Amino acid sequence: MALQDKYAALVQSATNMGVANLAVAEKDGVLHVSGTAKSTADYDALWAQYAQLDPNMASGDLMMNIDIKANSGAQLKVTTDATNLNIRSTPSTEGEIVGKAAHDEVVTLIEKTDDSWWKVRTAQGEEGYAYAQYLSPL
C-alpha cells in the first residue's frame, strides 16, 4: 500500500482530469497505472507530477502507461527535438523510410497500431508508421 500512498496525489489528479478507463494496481513493487488522458496537456501534467513525486523518476516503482485520446483523423504535432520524424513502411525502425515529417509539422492519425507505433498521413500524402512518443494529439 505504500506505493499507492506515494502516488495517491497523482492518481487523484488523473481521476480529477477524467482519465478514461483509469486502472491502478500494485504488483512486485511496481505501481501500474493505465488509462487514457483527454489531452496532451493532461498527459504532460501527469508526467510532471510523477517527476515531482519521484525525483528523476529514478525509483522504477511506477509504470505510468497513460495514453492520450486520439481518434482516427486526429491532428498530431511532431514533437521531435529538432530533427525530422521518419515515417516507415512497417511499425519498426527496421521498416523502410517512406516519408519524413518535420519538427512541429502536423500529421493526421490513421490508426493507433499499438502504444509505440501509430500509422499517420503527412500533409504531402505520405502514409506510414511513426513512433508515437514523438507525436502529440492537438
Partner 1 sequence: MKITKVTLAAVLALTVAFTSCKPKDADIEKAVQAKETTGITVSVKDGVATLTGEVADNAAKAKAVELAKAEKGVKDVVNNLTVPAPVAVTPPPASMTTPMDAGAMQKVSDGLKDIKGITVDFAGDKAVISGEVTSANRMKIMQILAAAKVKSDVSKLMDKK
Question: Which residues would be at the binding site for partner 1 (CB under 8 A)?
Answer: 21-25, 27, 30, 32-34, 47, 50-51, 56-58, 60, 63-67, 80-81, 83, 92-93, 114-117, 131-133
Nearer Cβ to partner 1, position 62 or 74?
62
Residue 5 CB, nearest approach to partner 1 (Å): 18
Residue 28 CB, nearest approach to partner 1 (Å): 9
Residue 85 CB, nearest approach to partner 1 (Å): 9
Number of Cα atoms under 13 Å in the Cβ half of residue 36:
10
Residue 58 CB, nearest approach to partner 1 (Å): 5
Backbone angles phi and psi of 98, in degrees to 5: -105, -5
Burial 84-108 (b: 16+ CB within 10 A, else e): ebbbbeebeeeeeeebbbeeebebe
Nearer Cβ to partner 1, position 58 or 125?
58
Burial 19-28 (b: 16+ CB within 10 A, else e): beebebeeee
